[in-house]
Structure 1
Amino acid sequence: MNQPDRDTSKDKIVRYNAGERINHWLVAITFVVLALSGLALFHPAMFWLSFVLGGGPWTRILHPFIGLLMFVCFALLALRFWRHNLIEKNDIGWLKNVGDVINNREENLPPVGRYNGGQKMLFWVMIACMAGLLLSGIVIWRAWFSWLFPIFVIRLAVVLHALCGFVLIAGIVVHIYAAIWVKGTVGAMTRGTVSRAWARKHHADWYRKMTGE
């Protein structure tokens, strides 16, 4: 897999190219739509959220199709970045000392590559949840597949779908919070670049590979 191209500007390093950023935002937008419409279908008290897709009937029709779109977009991202998310020795050390991250003492942590231990764990949790949502979603997709399965399988699939959905929502909330909390991270997914100082501080091994320093 090709590494991102190096930025020609003096103080910037390319972290994500245009295609990767577009793919990421497609996943983000479809996730928000699916989270809101999924909560609307989950409990009557939240049914008002079905407005996002034009009401109850349209929500029931469109939710699974948008889910397929999100899965395909996420799969493309996962195929591109999975090698960068393999757990390494320094990642375990990073996770053991995550308190230093919370207290902004990253100089006490081992250097990490393109992603740190927390980001890698979230990546694999997201893959598991996406797979669970796809498989369970197919089972409970009425008028298409649900008639193929006995009722107890459908009931188990409903529980699995809800569980994976809630875990994914919680994980994305943490992802968004961390991106805002670590200054400069959001810019990587909007402009595509990060400063050399940011890369050196938060992802020292990746910085060395990108700059040769």
Structure 2
Amino acid sequence: MGVNMSKRLDLIQRYNASDRLNHWFVAITFILLALSGLALFHPAFFFLTGLLGGGPWTRILHPFIGIAMFAGFVGMMVRFWNDNQITENDRKWISQVGDVINNREENLPPVGRYNAGQKYLFWTMVACISLLLITGVLIWQPYFAPYVPIVAVRLAVLVHALAAFIIIAGIMVHIYAAIWVKGSVRAMTRGTVTDAWARQHHLAWYREIKNKGSHGHDHY
């Protein structure tokens, strides 16, 4: 996955079209799963079944959408696995969370392609989506659940709900952070960020791609 730079408006390519398509596929299927899962979880949210054509269709489609999301997320894992390895700078970044919240980025260690918060969310998603797949299969009626001991089914339901709660909370924080850091949404809609944005929020990544550019690589 190459990183390109554009002289026009000093834009830097952060995500290519394939990256963005993968991201939005996972995002859309996740939203459908979250809403249909809430509808199946508690009667107060049953009205949400209307999104998938009613109760019976929601019960049928929810697990199949889950399989689709997992497949899409595997694609994201492959793309972004190396960029999300935790480093010593990430641990230092997390320990200075006060500076992060108060936008004192000059006090923080240089950030690579992703900051520590984004990386920990990535690994939380890896864990939770894997748990959701495994437990989802165990409780999937009528295909698998009848062959699973009832104690295991009950435990799987509990773990499924807990993993879903964690990932929904994490994604809400992710959305808030994307809106909070002005210019971030552009990266996943247009694929580019400004030179100033990269320099301010991801200095180590910025230096890396500028170094590549100075050697004649990855230009438009």
Where on the TM-score scale, by shorter chain, does this alignment land: which range? over 0.9
Secondary structure, aligned partner of 1:87 = coil
Cα deviation 1:3-44 (Å, max 9, x = unaligned): 323334351100000000011011111111110000000011
Query: Which residue is equivalent to 2:77?
Result: 78
The answer to whether the aligner puts 1:95 opposite 2:83 as a matched pair is no
Cα deviation 1:39-82 (Å, max 9, x = unaligned): 00001111111111111000000000000001110110111101
Over the residues paired in the alignment, what is the CA RMSD in angstroms? 1.0
The answer to whether the aligner puts 1:39 opposite 2:56 as a matched pair is no
C-alpha separation between the residues in 1 aligned to 2:74 and 2:97?
A: 28
For structure 2, list consecutive stretches of 5 or more residues without a partner in the other structure: 215-220
Secondary structure, aligned partner of 2:193 = strand
Over the matched positions of the two proteins, sequence identity in percent amounts to: 62
Query: Which residue is equivalent to 2:125?
Result: 126
Query: Which residue is equivalent to 1:53?
Result: 52
The answer to whether the aligner puts 1:202 opposite 2:193 as a matched pair is no
> C-alpha displacement at 1:147, in angstroms?
1.4
Secondary structure, aligned partner of 1:194 = strand
In the alignment, residue 22 of structure 1 is paired with which amino acid? L
Secondary structure, aligned partner of 1:136 = helix
Query: Which residue is equivalent to 1:144?
Result: 143
Moved over 3 A (4+): none
| TM superposition score normalised by structure 2 | 0.94
C-alpha separation between the residues in 2 aligned to 1:34 and 1:207?
A: 35
> C-alpha displacement at 1:101, in angstroms?
1.4
Query: Which residue is equivalent to 1:163?
Result: 162
C-alpha separation between the residues in 1 aligned to 2:139 and 2:8?
A: 51
C-alpha separation between the residues in 2 aligned to 1:8 and 1:82?
A: 29
